[in-house]
Amino acid sequence: MIGTFVNAASIVVGSFVGTLFKIGIPDRIKSTVMQAISLSVLIIGFDSALKYKNLLLVIISLTIGGIVGELLEIEKKLNQFGDFLERKLSRNGENKISDGFVTASLIYCIGAMAIVGALKDGLQGDHSILFAKSMLDGISSIIFASTLGIGVMISSISVLLYQGSITLCASLLKDLLTTNVIADMSAIGGVLIIGISLNMLNLTKIKIGNLLPSIFIPIVYEIILKAF
């Protein structure tokens, strides 16, 4: 768990620095920087989305995950959580905390480095991948927090829970999280990140929260394959 703790801490520190940078920046500059970040997030999404191993599984996962998410009303619950935090923490009418929280959580949790790094941490006590990820996340959190606000800092909780769970359950998950499964999970995450980018650019309003279960469908598929 050391690697995950370091990763979460790097996001907290980077976000703190980013929120300090946000103070005193004119709105027109914030708007332009926000658009630049949105386009950068779009590139990140495409980079992951195009590395799929089973395109049909990605499509089916997004469909099933969307149905599950709608039934559970995940988006609504995330927004309620974000609104609660906003009432407690927001002082100057900044962007919704839930926006920064969901955006940063997806970017930091979805990807091969998060999964493989957490597995190595749990199975071999090798923290090197997560330490490298910590440096990347720490630097990017400065940029994200400077426009998205304190919600980015709160995403460290998502990283702690997600990567920590993989690390603690590494011995059980190692046979399920094959190279193909990790690639398809990352691809699905990439699609969701593309959706986030489009939302950030105000081009549409995709319920990203309700699509989150999609990420875990490849694991269910792998379990079914091994069972039969």
Task: Count CB-CB contacts under 10 A for residue 96.
Answer: 17
pLDDT tens, residue by residue, 74-129:
888 877 777 777 676 655 545 567 778 888 888 888 777 888 889 888 888 888 88
Q: Where are the domains of the chain?
A: 2-227
Helix ranges (H only) for the chain are 2-22, 27-49, 55-72, 74-89, 97-109, 112-124, 128-148, 151-168, 170-173, 179-200, 208-211, 217-227
CB 122 within 8 A of CB 168: yes
**Nearest C-alpha neighbor of 147 from the set 13, 32, 12, 44:** 32
Across 154-163, average pLDDT: 91
Cα distance between residue 116 and residue 81, in whole Å: 29
pLDDT tens, residue by residue, 115-158:
888 988 888 888 888 998 998 889 888 888 888 888 889 889 98
pLDDT tens, residue by residue, 170-209:
878 888 888 899 889 889 988 988 988 898 888 888 888 8
139: Cβ–Cβ under 8 A, 6 or more apart, which residues?
A: 14
- Give the gyration radius of the chain's Cα atoms: 17
pTM of the model: 0.79
